Amino acid sequence: MILPIYLYDHPVLRQVAEPITDLTPEIRRLAQDMLETMYNAHGVGLAANQVGVTRRLIVVDIGEDEGMREPLILLNPTIEAFSEETVEMEEGCLSLPELREIVVRPAAVQVHYVDFRGHECHIAADGLLARVLQHEIDHLNGVYFTDRLSPVRRLLLRRKLERIARGEVLPPYPVVLGHAVVEQRSEML
Ligand SMILES: [Zn+2]
């Protein structure tokens, strides 16, 4: 089922998500729905907060071109190590439509998580995968990529962010603004 994606600045996106203690049928269903939602929106990653659920769950699929054969479902992901080397990379976010900015982050990370079968896993990532993992884990802690920008850059983005919050920038996928579900129908585009 495709879930509506919560847009800036819904309060759920500022909440710190709770750890998952049991792989319940509801959590499995949520993970599948999040993958469907992410693909529908042409995203490469999605955090549970973005569909209004404050649990520590993210899904990632950067695609076969980037060497990923199947999507990653990560429960309770934590960054346990990161490189001192940093890189600049442009980021976007399904909760911040039409906004893309260069963000500086560690080039490589090691992430600890529990997989869909309940196994403890570690993944070492660099390039795009390292970037997406850091972006999505930030969401679980109530952090937007725009929080990682310089104060001057953030000031320059203020108007764009306000337009998103007012519902003036609607993407072509179902979204939640405040407490309303808004679906932009393709024939209206
Ligand atoms: Zn995002």
How far is Cα 159 from Cα 182, in angstroms, rounded to an integer?
Answer: 21
Q: How far is the CA of 173 from the centre of ligand 1 (A)?
A: 15
Average pLDDT estimate for 152-157: 95
- Residue 73 has what pLDDT? 98
Hey, which residues does 90 pair with through a beta bridge? 102
Q: How far is the CA of 64 from the centre of ligand 1 (A)?
A: 21
> Is the CB of residue 49 less than 8 Å from the CB of residue 140?
yes
Active-site positions?
136
Q: How far is the CA of 22 from the centre of ligand 1 (A)?
A: 25
pTM: 0.94
Instruction: List the 5-6 sheet strands across, edge first.
Output: 5-6, 175-177, 180-182
CA 173 to chain CA centroid, nearest Å = 15
Residue 57, exposed/middle/buried by CB under 10 A (0-12, 13-18, 19+)?
buried
**Per-residue pLDDT tens for 76-88?**
999 999 999 999 9
Tokens of 188: 């209206």
Q: How far is the CA of 11 from the centre of ligand 1 (A)?
A: 14
The number of beta carbons lying within 10 Å of the beta carbon of residue 12 is 17
Domain 5-188 has CATH 3.90.45.10: yes
% of the chain with per-residue pLDDT over 90: 90
Q: How far is the CA of 139 from the centre of ligand 1 (A)?
A: 7
CA nearest to 134, candidates 175, 80, 97: 80
Protein residues near ligand 1, an ion, with CB under 5 A? 93
